[in-house]
Amino acid sequence: MPGLDLTGADWLMVGASGRVGRMVRRAWVDDPDVAIRLVPQLRSGTVATTDRVLYWAPLDGPEPFERYVRYDGTPAALIMLAGVIPGPDADFSTNVGLAVACLEAAKAAGCERVLIASSVAVYDHSSDMPLTEDAPCNPSTLYGASKLAMEQACVPYRDQGMDVCCLRIGNVVGADALMRNAEAGGDLRIDRFPAGQGPSRPYIGPESLARIVSTLASWPECLPETLNVAAPGGSDMSALADAAGLNWDWAVAPRDAVQHISVDTSRLSQFYTFEPEECAPEGMIAQLRKVGSGI
């Protein structure tokens, strides 16, 4: 689908009240050309921070979205950041339902581009690193399995001509388990492996993620079906904890724990070039503090 006309019209962000959505919105405040296009989707009862907002619960049906389209026009892109994250009572099946509801609404409205927030958790982490987008997908968690099922649900819409790109996002600093555990208080532990080092994971700062999403939302040609979204090289969790000034201690890594997980970002580099500070723990923590975290 080359030559898409994605200029001028709004971008609808589903999941704008979630942790990642809030950080991306705050990052876009400093870019008027982007911020003016954004229409955040909020659940009924959520307090809006802008006059341009769509109150819509996707799982309750498309009517509010259809009403928005009738009066304000079809959005140039639908950015789906909503989703269930790991937790004690998480119902991960909701991730598929949310994606399908958004894709159905976009299809009915004639919205040609949809960005879906997936995860690097879809991969088989026993595969050779770094993981390319073509690496085997064999999730080891229910969360990862739900994200893979969500990606598979996108296939029929792609077959019908919709430009759907699943973003396999790494750990977003501020929405990751390390920083959420730090905010919760109590003892913070990081696994230490036999060689004396901690785990290394694909990470990305919230401002970097915001820049990438805006770039992809306005890209004039068809996007890849899947795209790894993380800073090149990966980050050591202990280095991030130190950069944030957290009080933490080591714990013995479980025998089945994976120390190094990394993704190949060559495909992403066709769309976005990282500055060195975006890849450093200090730079990622600086981004987090800028978008309003208490860390």
Residue range 244-268, pLDDT digits in tens: 999 999 999 999 999 999 999 999 9
Amino acid at 183: E
Residue 250: inside a domain: no
Q: Span 122-128, mean pLDDT? A: 93
Secondary structure (3-state) at 192: strand
Instruction: Kindly report the pTM of this predicted structure.
Output: 0.94
**Range of 94's domain?**
11-170+205-231+264-274
Mean pLDDT of the chain: 92
Residue 188 counted as domain residue:
no
What pLDDT band is residue 2 in, cutting at 50, 70 and 90? very low
Q: Please report whether residue 189 resides in a domain.
A: no
The reply to whether 78 falls in a domain is yes
pLDDT tier for residue 294 given thresholds of 50, 70 and 90: low
Residue 210 token pair: 């915001």
Token couple for 241: 């904890």
Indicate whether 270 belongs to any domain.
yes
Judge whether 197 lies within some domain.
no
Point out which residues pair with 38 in neighbouring strands: 11
How far CA 193 is from CA of 171, 246, 253, 257, in Å, comes to 20, 20, 5, 9
Task: Examine residue 75 and say whether the peptide bond preceding it is cis (omega within 30 degrees of 0).
Answer: no
Q: Is residue 295 part of a domain?
A: no
Answer whether residue 283 is part of any domain.
Answer: no
Q: Is 172 helix (H, G, I), strand (E, B) or coil?
A: strand
CA distance 74 to 63: 14
- pLDDT, residue 265, reads 98
| Tally of domains in the chain | 1
Residue 251 CB partners (closer than 8 Å, separation 6+):
189, 190, 191, 192
Which two tokens mark 171? 């750990």
The CA R_g of the chain, rounded to the nearest whole Å, is: 19
Residues contacting 216, CB < 8 A, separation 6+: 115, 165, 167, 223, 227, 271
Other C-beta atoms closer than 10 Å to the C-beta of 233 total 15
Output the pLDDT for position 106: 95
pLDDT at 47: 66
3-class secondary structure, 275: coil
Average pLDDT over residues 139-165: 96
pLDDT by residue (tens digit) across 14-68?
A: 999 999 999 999 999 888 778 788 999 998 766 666 678 999 999 999 999 999 9
CATH of the domain at 146: 3.40.50.720
